[in-house]
Amino acid sequence: MPALEIRQLGLTDYAATLAAMQAYTAQRTTSTPDQLWVTEHPPVYTLGLNRRGVRLPQNAIPVVNVDRGGKITYHGPGQLIIYCLIDLARGHLNVRQLVSILEDSLIEWLAAQGVVAVARADAPGVYVDGKKIASLGLRLKNQCCYHGLSLNIDMDLQPFADIDPCGYAGMQMTQTRELNIALQMPDIAADLTHRLKEKLTHVR
């Protein structure tokens, strides 16, 4: 089985990265390696497939329609994004198991920093004291997934207030800087991808 690869993309345009994920997934074969793409994006709202009743922002930040599940969220500089391009069938995984791996990796990493975090059955993601610190969204095609997770590190949270994050009115957001976690994005990315790689390799 091909090794799990990690790609460091730096700051990337959202639409271009989405197109690249779609192309990678469409062209996969049974020997195509799974990959984790580490990136961050300029300010952008992404609107998932569940668009009923979504409150759209009244600001100048662009809104992009995307093919993941869920409603609307925000991405911006200072937010770590890890896209998971995984062949679930090859790894004998289902989507629920992958979501649990993503949530557990985040919760364990936060615990290592002295922060208690939890997942919620009714709203995928990771929460600290009722505030959301990480979001999850996936798309499955031919038993291969893409999209992934976003972790708020040191960003402007105001754009979240202009929407109902993931469809939840009044959802409060937080980030690692507000929790007095001094680690910078490269160190956090390295630790999180290592945890994800260990968990994903274990089930492969």
- Total count of domains within the chain: 1
Contact by Cβ (8 Å): 178, 129? no
Out of 84, 144, 145, 166, the active site residue is: 166
Binding-site residues for substrate:
68-75, 135-137, 148-150
Separation of alpha carbons 146 and 36, rounded Å: 9
Instruction: Mark whether 166 is an active-site residue.
Output: yes
CATH code, 143: 3.30.930.10
pLDDT at 1 over 80: no
Binding-site residues:
68-75, 135-137, 148-150
* 190 exposure class (CB count in 10 Å sphere: 0-12, 13-18, 19+): middle
Residue-number span of the structural domain to which 178 is assigned = 5-203
DSSP 42: S
Taking only the tens place, the pLDDT of each residue in 52-107 is 888 999 999 999 999 998 889 999 999 999 999 999 999 889 999 999 999 999 99
Separation of alpha carbons 76 and 156, rounded Å: 8
Taking only the tens place, the pLDDT of each residue in 139-192 is 999 999 999 999 999 999 999 999 998 788 888 999 999 999 999 999 999 999
pLDDT at 203 over 70: no
